[in-house]
Amino acid sequence: MKNDIEQILVSKKEIDIIVKRIADELTVDYADKNPVLIGLLKGCVMFMSDVSKCLDFNLELDYMDVSSYNGVSSTGVVTIDRDLKTDIVGRDIIIMEDIVDTGRTLTKVKELLINRGAKSVKVATLLDKPEGRIVELEAEYVGISVPNHFVVGYGLDYNERYRNLPYIGILKEKIYKK
Ligand code: IMP
């Protein structure tokens, strides 16, 4: 699996530092708010799990599964494959995301949560790919900006593979340009 990686972009050590920093920022802003952390499956799992373990205040966890990707390109059509179990009316929401690319997924999900009556909706993302942006969307909590490459690891996949890598790496082009 590691042979398919061109270059390590964010090491495990760097991820640990980012996770701690974002947890500290969320603690300042949400410690007395009992927020709902909503993870967008499946890419969020490592990030959400690691960040939430650093948060020493009351919160709830829930997940949505929305898809917009097929292979290495965004289709632009966002569909909900699994919905929330939590009533979010009047609640402060933090969406936990692996990467913001075009911004379409989050724009759609934010809109949906606000329409359902959330009190506030903010976004925490491990990675930001600003060059990929098609719609205007800024995450309030950003781990690190990355260049416009297809990256995998620490939850991010290529056709369901590489999620279990402990770091973020650039996938060799020959893997997806066959
Ligand atoms: P957006 O709607 O284009 O911002 O897409 C966000 C979603 O696309 C992320 O949650 C990922 O699942 C997926 N995605 C975007 N860029 C990458 C990448 O470089 N590697 C793996 N998945 C990606």
| Ligand 1 in reach of 110 Cβ (< 6 A) | no
pLDDT reported for residue 70 = 57
Q: Which helix (H) or strand (E) holds 9?
A: strand 5-10
Ranges of residues in the chain with a pLDDT under 50 are none
| Ligand 1 in reach of 68 Cβ (< 6 A) | yes
The set of residues, in sequence order, having a beta carbon less than 8 Å from that of 102 and lying 6+ positions away, is 68, 74, 76, 132, 133, 134, 135
CA atoms within 13 A on the CB side of 36: 20
C-alpha of residue 171 to centroid of ligand 1, in Å: 14
- List, edge to edge, every strand of the sheet that includes 73-82: 73-82, 60-70, 36-41, 92-100, 120-128, 141-145
**pLDDT tens profile 93-105:** 999 999 999 999 9
pLDDT reported for residue 158 = 95
Q: Whose CA is nearest to atom 12 of ligand 1?
A: 43
| Ligand 1 in reach of 108 Cβ (< 6 A) | no
C-alpha of residue 177 to centroid of ligand 1, in Å: 18
Strand segments (E) across 60-157: 60-70, 73-82, 92-100, 120-128, 141-145, 151-152
C-alpha of residue 43 to centroid of ligand 1, in Å: 8
Tokens 């506030």 correspond to 120
Catalytic residues: 101
Residue 154's closest CA among 167, 141, 143? 167
Q: H helices then E strands: how many in the chain?
A: 4, 9
| Ligand 1 in reach of 74 Cβ (< 6 A) | yes
Atom of ligand 1 nearest to the CA of 105: 2
Backbone angles phi, psi at 138, to 5 degrees: -120, 125
pLDDT reported for residue 78 = 77
